[in-house]
Structure formats: C-alpha cells, structure tokens
Chain A
Amino acid sequence: MTERAPLERARTFDEVACGYTLEEALRESERCLRCPDEPCIRGCPVGIDIPGFIARIGETDLRGAYDVLTDTTLLPAVCGRVCPQETQCEGLCTVGDTLEPVAVGRLERFVGDMAIKEGWSSIPFIEPSGLKVAVVGSGPAGMACAADMAKVGCNVTVFEAFQQPGGVLRYGIPDFRLPNDVVDEEVEKLARLGITFRCNTLVGRLFTIEQMVTEMRFDVVFIGVGAGTPTFTGIPGESLNGVLSANELLTRCNLMRARDFPEYDTPIAVGRRVVVIGAGNTAMDALRVCLRLGAESVSCVYRRGRAEAPARGEELHHAEQEGVRFEWLTDPIEILGDGKHGVRAIRCRRMELGEADATGRRRPVAVGDSDFEIECDSVVFAIGTNANPIIGQTSKLALDERGYIKVDEDLATSMAGVFAGGDIVTGAATVIEAMGAGRRAARAMKRYLGLRDTDGVYDEAASGEALFGIADGQRNHARLVLV
C-alpha cells in the first residue's frame, strides 16, 4: 500500500496511508491460504469472517466482500484503519509464521472505502419492535450497540455530549489516520438504519440515567461514554502553561479544528519543541499531531523500552519515519518553568529494566546520577485515562473502586435495564474492543427485552423496495430472519 513520503506528510493532516488500488488488493487477497481452522477469526474481537470477505475480493466481488464484512462490523473503513491487527487477526495469520501476514486491515479498509465511494449500504428490512433504546455516547461502543439494536427493530436514540457524533473517532484519532469524512460516512450509515443521533446532550446533567428509564420511557439503556478523564503524574511543574493532556491537544486539533486557527476560533499553541510523555497509540497521535502543527522538534519520553511500548507497531513505525525522537527508558521527574509560568524544559532520569512486576512487564529502575534536561515549550501527557465521574455523580449505578461502572458477565449494571460497555467498564482499550463490548451488550439487551436474535440474509430479489429513504442505487437487500 502506498504511503505519503514521511517528511512530506509530517507537515499535513492528509491521510498517511493512501489505501490499496484494486490490483494491489487482488494481489494481496491471493496470499490468503483459506486455512480450515481460520485462526484469524479467533483473533478478531467481533469475529469477522475474514477468509470469507478476502475470498470475495479475490473473485472481484467487492460488493459481496462488503456484505460479508457488514454481517459483523458496521464500520469497516474505520476498523481497517485503526484496529491493532498485528496483535489480532494478522498476529494469528498462518502466512505470518514465515512471511508478512496477509494485510487483513488494509483489505478491510479497501472494501470499506469502496463502499463509501460507491454509496453501498446494507440496510436490512426491519420490523419495528416498538421498543425504545437509548445509547449514551456515540463512540465505537455506542455505535456498535446502536446498530445491533436498530437491526432488530428497536427505536434507537444515541446521545452525544459533543456537537458532532463519533466519540473518540472524532475527537481523538487524527485525520491523517482516520479522516473525519470517513467518520461522517459511517455515522450516516447508522442514521440510515433509522438511528437518531442527539448531539449536545450531556447525559447525567441534562437528564439522569434514572430519568431515562422512568420518565423518558426507554426500555433499555446502554452506557458507552468512554473513560476519557486524563491522568497526570503529579511531578512538579504540571500547572505551567504549556503542559496539557493528549486529550486536550487532540480534541482542540481534531474536533475543534485548532489546526486551522484562526479560520476556526479554537487556539492551540505547542511551540517549537514538544515533549510527549507516554508511548501508547494516543501518544503516537499526539507526537505526530505536534509535527503537523509545525513543531521543529518532537520527542517521546517513555520509562520503559521500545519493546514494551503499548502503541500499535505501525503507529510507532510511522512516528519514527516522520522524525519523532524517542527517549526510551526515560522517566520525567520535573517540568521546569521559564519564569513566566511557561515551560522551559523537562528534567528526566534514565532508567533500566529490572525484575518483572505483577503484570509480567519488567519494572523500570532509575539509573543513578543520570538526570538530564530536554528543552521544550510544551509537555503533553499521554499516560492514560481514568473513569469519567459524571455518570457516578448523577446516578446510583454501582461503580468499582476506581470509578468504572460495575457490570456482570452480560454487561448489565446494578440497575435493571441499564447496560454498560467499553472504556467506562474496562478502562482505556481499543476501538475494536469497545465495538466488541457494544455488540456483547446488545446481545444481552435483546435477551433482556425478550427479542430473539436475528441474522442477516442477503436477498437480491428484495432489492427493488427501498426503505428509510434509501436511494434506488443503494440496494437494501438484506432481510432479517429469526434464528
């Protein structure tokens, strides 16, 4: 797959990976061995029929490939871009034992993008069930749950606090990894399933979860609000101007379009030299955003080594290619001021890896007398998030000791009819894991409502009839059957 040249792309927000051409996709699809035991499917949190959709590509039946994908995932253009495939499907690919694994993510993206370009959608004929479902949060968990509930005929409303839907796909993941146009397209597809999106709605404060059940008469509620509250380390100097969370940087830049200041009103000023603390996917996004905002020197400070970095391999690789400096085995100990409440530098200490800790990772230990300073204008913390407190403040839902919502194995909360999933239950995870949680909750919610689960069956004969305002060209040829 073609990528823009690192030094050229590192100054624009255009997407880095250009996507496969048809020839590239066909060639890649031929590498799939169609293993009978299908290890890749086991690696997929939502269980996509991976050999199935790749086989359709090989037959140049792209529409068929899209139908196979959308049996399971609603957002192929998103997941193809942001899933950590190397630890999931591609990590278990048999071809990968000896060669590069089959590029499942890129193939998925190829089909997802083709569907957007061609205006394909798989809209099932839905028998309205008369049941009202509320989904709190329009990120990946909420979207996946909403889609599954809409497909069994529920009247679904998704509530979003921001002015635009998409959650982390919108405010968090930058355009050079996941363009907001793609998010718009995927949201639009959900809207065509009959799902209503209500933005600017802060659930808990505008109305409570209890009110949604008792006054607003939702038959079932799913909470997928994400984790979202950024953590800082507590080292001296964190109050200085120029110290910010990755969440703030990314939200200003992606959602509020501060990168286009002053055409857009929201400012962001990171200065010439930036240090980002942390080495997860969010840290990689923050580093690469800072490059694109025009910073001359961008450094990543992480207390463990490269092998321990939680970021997806491709993200790390891209950041390295684009000129990010990595200070591995380096612990930040103090942010130094410039005397005007701004940042002058960050003092760090070298570390080495010692004994394994409870998580099995080797614990970093300080190297004596190794302090040094990195001069910088901004320090960005990308070291994880805590549970957002609003649902806890405004409802009687049982929380665990860290403030995350307590659920049982069906993702049911302590309140009857209220389910929760994604980061607000597990703590920060990936987009596809959140989608998986949304779908798991949907299965339990259907049981709770007494809805029998359904399966999509593609029925070419039915394509003449259009529902939900679908244009003639957009065949809605899936029919739901009870299983």
Chain B
Amino acid sequence: MSAHDPAYEIVKREDFSDVTYLLEVHHPEMARAARPGQFVIVMSHPKGERIPLTLADFDAGRGTITLVVQAVGKTTREMQRDLQVGSSVYALIGPMGEPSHIGPAKKVVCVGGGLGVAPVYPQARAYHERGAYVIGVIGFRNKDLVFWEDKFRAVCDEFIVCSDDGSVGMKGLVTAGIEVALSRHADIEQLIAIGPPIMMRGCAEVTRPHKTPTIVSLNPIMVDGTGMCGGCRVKVGDRIRFACVEGPEFDAHQVDFEDLMFRLQRFKPEEKAALERWQQGCRMEAEVHGGSSARMEAEAHGRSSGGGAPRWS
C-alpha cells in the first residue's frame, strides 16, 4: 500500500541559535498551494504527535516549504536532534487554515516577535509585491537570537529591530517599535502581529486607541488541524471559533488572549513529564555511548517557558 509514498525530505537546515532552527522540506505540491498565513501539521515519526507550525516561507520554484521551529518541548527537541538534511518527516499535512487576506492597504506594519518573525515574513513579502509601503518591526530578546534581518530588509520600506536588552536595534519590546511606527505615520491601514500570545495581546492594546485594523495569528493546541477535534477553539468577540479552519488569523481587538493563554496550559503536566522522560533517556544514551551529555544538560536548563511544543513557528 502506498499510503506513505512521498518522502517529505529535509533539503536544508539552518540553526539560528541553540534553540531555534529552520527546516526546508521538499513538497512541491504544497509549495505551489501555500499562501501567507497558512500552517502545516508535522509528525516527525510514527509515534510522534501532530504539531502545527505556521509556514515561514514557500518556494514553488524549489518545490519546498520552510518552517522555523523552537526547541522547547520533547517533540521539538527530538526534531532538533533528528531532523538533519537528507532525513524525512513521517507526515506533513497542509497547507491548512484560511490564507491571510492581503488587502488593498497601502501602508502596513508587519510585526514579528521571537519565533513569530518567521511566519510574518510571507505577509510582509506579499504586501511588498502588491506595492504597499511595508514597515517591518521585529523583536528578539538579544542580538544572538536575531535571524532573517536581511530577508526582511529586502521587502520592507522601513525596518525596526527591537531587543529586550538593547544589544541590537532599539531597546524595548515590539510594542515600543509599533509606537515609533505609529508616531511617524498617521496613515497606517493594517497591522499584522505574530508571536507569543502575550506579545500579540500587547500589540492589540497599542493599536486599539488608534483603531488600526490589527490581525494576529493564533496558536492554540490542536490535533487534526482540519476542524474535526475542536481543541483549537478560541474566543473571538462573543463567538467561539475553530482556529484551524476559521483562522488562524483573527481581529486582534476581538480576541480573548487570556482564554488562549489558559488553554495553552492544558497539557502542561504531560508535556513536562514527556520532556523529563526524554531527557533522562538522552542522558542515559549519552553515557552508554560515552558521548558528552553537556548539550542535553544545557538544553534542560535553557528556555523552558511555553510548556510543550510551540504551536507556531
């Protein structure tokens, strides 16, 4: 039976930092179909979980799609260890979700925080290709974590980098960068923000008094990504929406971020247990093979926020 005939091969990998890595995966059909704002589901091996990752790029010419992943939970760390160029993921499904509406706005701000920098890039490029004036605002904790600055510069008319510690660009959160953009331009018609929920909530609050239409891409827990499980339900205005088929993008001023943040904690104990068990296994393996477990230790004590797998790339 040819249920798994296509091999979803990793054709390129780039490590942006100890925890952030890029995977370019061969899937010509998906590369043609993908649009900004859509996501995919990846299962790295047959016993793995299905994790949703927002598309960071796609190239019909190369026949590939690009994901940027942060190693925070068991699955994403295992992927970081195992998915090298030439290897394949077990399942790759998508593109999923409604594409971004790239409207006629003449001046837009594209905001990416941390890993959210990657999935907002396709929007910035799409607006640029439509001839809009694009202001890029990207934020990182420090300069070592910065990636894709050049890609953004190529599609942005104005570009603001923010860092928590001021080691690169302006010191402050992306919300500070948005304030700068809003003070310079009175005619911003659209803002798109992608990043951790707390950052997206901050962006929504900054633009609310200005009534700037603001779109965010939500990252709830989901299983199938096709509208079947309802795990991804989010509160938007007074309605419950399924982020996988009605989103993932919604009007930021309507989103109940607190609800989203609570729901992201749903499997926290299981995610923690899975990670600890896995790290234990890695340490034992390292000892058996006489290798150094220093890297695993470093990971164990590294970034641990967010609980499990990131729900966005």
Contacts and interface: CB of A to CB of B under 8 A. Distances in A.
Interface stretch (B45-53, B105-113, B130-138, B289-297): B45-53
Interface string B233-256: 101000010100110000000000
Contacts of B19: none
Nearest to A241: B266
B102 interface: no
Given A256-B50, A263-B47, A241 B265 contact: yes
Interface stretch (B87-95, B145-153, B195-203, B204-212): B87-95
Interface residues of A, number: 49
Contacts of A248: 223, 229-231
Nearest to A387: B227
A200 B93 contact: yes
B274 A200 contact: no
Nearest to A191: B1
Contact of B228 (A163, A165, A206, A247): A247
Contacts of B95: 202, 205-206
Interface in A131-185: 160-165, 171
A198 B2 contact: yes
B223 A229 contact: no
A353 to B, nearest CB: 30
B5 A390 contact: no
Contacts of B1: 187-188, 191, 197
B65 to A, nearest CB: 11
Contacts of A229: 227-228, 230, 242, 245
A239 B240 contact: yes
B299 interface: no
Contacts of B235: 239
A247 B242 CA distance: 14
Interface in B11-60: 29-30, 33, 38, 43, 46-50
Contacts of A414: none
Interface in B242-290: 242, 245-246, 259, 262-263, 265-267, 269-271, 273-274, 277
Interface residue tally on B, bucketed by range? 35 or more
B74 interface: yes
Interface in B130-180: none
A262 interface: yes
A230 B231 CA distance: 10
B313 to A, nearest CB: 18
B189 interface: no
Contacts of B224: 161-162, 251
B223 A256 contact: yes
A424 to B, nearest CB: 12
Nearest to B232: A248
A200 B228 CA distance: 15
B5 A245 contact: no
Given A161-B93, A229-B227, A265-B75, A389 B245 contact: yes
Contacts of B245: 229, 388-390, 393
Contacts of A228: 226-228
Contacts of B240: 232, 234, 238-239
Interface of B: 1-6, 29-30, 33, 38, 43, 46-50, 74-75, 90-96, 98, 223-224, 226-231, 233, 235, 240, 242, 245-246, 259, 262-263, 265-267, 269-271, 273-274, 277
Sorted nearest first, the 7 A-B pairs with minimum C-beta distance are A267-B270, A248-B229, A265-B49, A341-B262, A163-B91, A191-B1, A245-B230
23 contacts: A163-B4, A196-B2, A197-B1, A197-B2, A197-B3, A199-B3, A205-B33, A206-B30, A241-B262, A247-B228, A248-B223, A248-B229, A251-B224, A251-B228, A251-B229, A256-B223, A257-B47, A262-B274, A264-B48, A265-B47, A267-B49, A267-B267, A390-B245
Interface of A: 160-165, 171, 187-188, 191, 196-202, 205-207, 228-230, 232, 234, 238-239, 241, 244-245, 247-248, 251-252, 256-257, 261-267, 269, 341, 388-390, 393
Given A200-B92, A205-B38, 10 more contacts: A200-B4, A201-B93, A205-B94, A207-B33, A228-B226, A229-B227, A232-B233, A252-B229, A262-B270, A390-B227
